Amino acid sequence: MKIGVFDSGVGGLSVLKQIKEKIDFADVIYYGDSLNSPYGSKSVEEIQKLCLKIAEFLIDNRVNIIVVACNTATAAALETLKERFTSVPIIGVVEPGAAIAIKESKNKKIGVLSTPLTAKSKVYEKAIKKINPKSEVFQKGCELLCPMIEKGWESSEKNLNLLKEYIHQLPEEIDTLVLGCTHYPLIRDDIEILIDKKIVDPAEEVAMQVLFELNKLALRTGFKKEKKEKVKVDYFVSGDIEIFKKVGERFLGEKLSNVYQPLTD
């Protein structure tokens, strides 16, 4: 079995990390579209076009499931992808994040840090209120964080002040903060320094959904799941491979091999 995971760059590695921890019988193809990062400042139409091309690439490489490991891409393109590609399950990150946020929040006042497009789409508010209509959702679009993390975030005073500025624009009464961009878990330590709230990373729940879908597929097809000694991950990076490897290795705590530049039209 093979899992396809894609993001606008390194952010989806936070999802990949959870997948590798929970699924030991499937290999992974990871596509980081760092050449076109950040997605959060693009139009919905641009993002849909990029996502369709990546999904086609993953399906050409015979994946059994696709994980849209990017909140912005989930907001802009998940339904489009599901309509276009019906041969494989396609999972986004927003609904799993919303479900955990509702579960963790005591007062149902939930903050979301995300890219500007994700915030503008109100996708988290819709998903959370679908589960619990009485919830209050406060979203803050952070224009600068994603590109800074993509290039290699440093815990400097300047960067912490910028992060603090974004966080402090959320109401004090929230008791739960959703990391509504898959890049943000890469700087979770710095976020935890600045806010004393329950922090939700949707990645763990996404990995559980992937496991559920693969188990269903195995039952349906008779596929025999066999534990691998080591899950193989092939990385395809549209932008600078060396920067991707540097940031990715620091976050995952392991050397990244099998990193390739995808062939372009």
Residues annotated as catalytic (active site), given as ranges: 70, 181
Distance CA 168, CA 165 (A): 5
Given a contact cutoff of 8 angstroms between Cβ atoms, the answer to whether 231 and 20 are in contact is yes
3-class DSSP state for residue 100? helix
Rounded to whole angstroms, what are the CA distances from 60 to 2, 31, 52, 53, 256? 12, 13, 12, 11, 23
Q: How far apart are CA 158 and CA 83, in angstroms?
A: 44
DSSP state of 225: P
CA angle in degrees (0–180, nearest 5) for 115-120-125:
95
How many whole angstroms separate alpha carbon 105 and alpha carbon 113? 16
CA distance 107 to 66: 34
DSSP conformation class of 223: P
> How many C-beta atoms lie closer than 10 Å to residue 3's C-beta?
27
Q: What is the DSSP letter of 42?
A: S
